Amino acid sequence: SLIVGAILSKLTAKGDSSKKGGASSGKGRSKRASFSFHGGMQTLVDALHKEVGDSNVKLGTQVLSLACNCDELSASDGWSIFVDSKDASSKELAKNQSFDAVIMTAPLSNVQRMRFTKGGAPFVLDFLPKVDYLPLSLMVTAFKKEDVKRPLEGFGVLIPFKEQQKHGLKTLGTLFSSMMFPDRAPNDQYLFTTFIGGSHNRDLAGAPT
Ligand SMILES: Cc1cc2nc3c(=O)[nH]c(=O)nc-3n(C[C@H](O)[C@H](O)[C@H](O)COP(=O)(O)OP(=O)(O)OC[C@H]3O[C@@H](n4cnc5c(N)ncnc54)[C@H](O)[C@@H]3O)c2cc1C
C-alpha cells in the first residue's frame, strides 16, 4: 500500500531523510527513504519536458489507435498514431508522422480501450491481463497550526479495516504531508493527505465532497 510504504520508508530511513532533491543514499534495506523535490514530483516532469523541448511534448492529447505498418511486403515500416486533441496542430502532426517505435506507458485499462492494427488488419491484445484498478481519491486538508490543539507527530496514520468496521471510519489512512515534506505548506500550517476508496469503499472514492 502507498500509505504503508510511505510511512515505513520514513521510519526505516536513517540520517537526514528530509533532504530534498535527491534519492536516499546508502545500500541495503534499512536505508530506504522517501524523497521528493522542491515543488514535488512535478519538478521531475517539468525538467524532462524542458529537456526534450516544447514541440516534442503533446499535452492533452489522447491516443485513440495505433497502426503498425509492418507488412512484410511494405517498404515503409513504422507506426502511425491517431490521436484526439484540443490542439489541431497536434492532431495533424501525429497524422502525418511515422514512428520507428512506440513505447506504451499508459495504464493497461487505457491500452485495452485503444485500437491496434497490424498491416491494416485489427490486432487484438488478448494476451494482456485484466487488471482491476481500485478507485482512490485524495482529500487534502490544511489547518492553521494555532487551531490544532495537539499537534500530530510522526508521518501518518493507517486505519486497518477492522477499525473501519468497528468505529465506522471510512478513510484508509492519512499522511501528515507537512511533517514528511516541510516545504509543502506555509510555516504556520499543517497539511494532511487523506486516502479514500480502495476495495472496501469503492463508491466513496467517487462521492462528491
Ligand atoms: C493517490 C496516489 C498517491 C501516490 N503516491 C505515491 C508516492 O507518494 N510515491 C510513489 O512513489 N508513488 C506514489 N503513487 C504511485 C505512482 O503515482 C504510480 O506508481 C506512478 O504514477 C505510475 O506511473 P505510470 O507512468 O506507470 O502511470 P501514470 O502515472 O498513471 O501515467 C499514465 C499516463 O498515461 C496517460 N494516458 C492514459 N491513457 C492515455 C491515452 N489513451 N493517450 C495518451 N495518454 C494516456 C494518463 O493520462 C497518464 O498521464 C501514488 C499513486 C496514487 C494513485
Q: Does 2 sit in the ligand 1 pocket, CB within 6 Å?
A: yes
Q: What are phi and psi of 40, to 5 degrees?
A: 85, -175
Domain extent, residue 145, equals 136-205
116, 151: one domain: no
Distance in Å, CA 147 to ligand 1 centroid: 34
Contact indicator for 119, 79 with CB cutoff of 8 Å: no
pLDDT, tens only, 96-153: 788 899 999 999 999 999 999 998 899 999 998 989 899 999 999 999 999 999 878 8
Q: Does 136 sit in the ligand 1 pocket, CB within 6 Å?
A: yes
Distance in Å, CA 105 to ligand 1 centroid: 9
Q: Domain boundary at 122, 146, 163, which?
A: 122
Q: Which residues of 14-32 are buried (b: 16+ CB within 10 A; e: fewer)?
A: eeebbeeeeebeeeeeeeb
CATH of the domain at 167: 3.90.660.20
Residue at 51 is within a domain: no
pLDDT for res 23 = 43
β-pairing, 189-197 vs 136-144, is antiparallel
Closest-CA residue, ligand 1 atom 16, reads 2
Residue at 99 is within a domain: yes
118, 171: one domain: no
Q: Which amino acid is at 70?
A: C
Residue at 114 is within a domain: yes
Distance in Å, CA 45 to ligand 1 centroid: 12
99, 159: one domain: no
Residue at 82 is within a domain: yes
140, 118: one domain: no
pLDDT, tens only, 85-95: 887 777 776 67
Distance in Å, CA 121 to ligand 1 centroid: 31
Cα gap 58→50, rounded to integer Å: 13
Residue at 4 is within a domain: no
Distance in Å, CA 194 to ligand 1 centroid: 18
198, 142: one domain: yes
Give the burial class of 48: count Cβ atoms within 10 A of its Cβ; 0-12 exposed, 13-18 middle, 19 or more buried: exposed
Closest-CA residue, ligand 1 atom 18, reads 2
Residue at 52 is within a domain: no
Percent composition of the chain: helix, strand, coil (DSSP 3-state, to 5):
30, 25, 45
State ipTM: 0.92
141, 189: one domain: yes
Q: Does 6 sit in the ligand 1 pocket, CB within 6 Å?
A: yes
103, 152: one domain: no
Cα gap 105→111, rounded to integer Å: 9
Cα gap 28→41, rounded to integer Å: 24
Residue at 104 is within a domain: yes
Q: Does 107 sit in the ligand 1 pocket, CB within 6 Å?
A: yes
Q: Which three cell numbers stand for residue 149?
A: 490543539
pLDDT, tens only, 23-80: 433 455 566 777 888 888 999 999 999 999 998 888 889 999 999 987 665 556 789 9
Count of domains for the chain: 2
pLDDT for res 87 = 79
Residue at 41 is within a domain: no
146, 115: one domain: no
Q: Does 110 sit in the ligand 1 pocket, CB within 6 Å?
A: yes
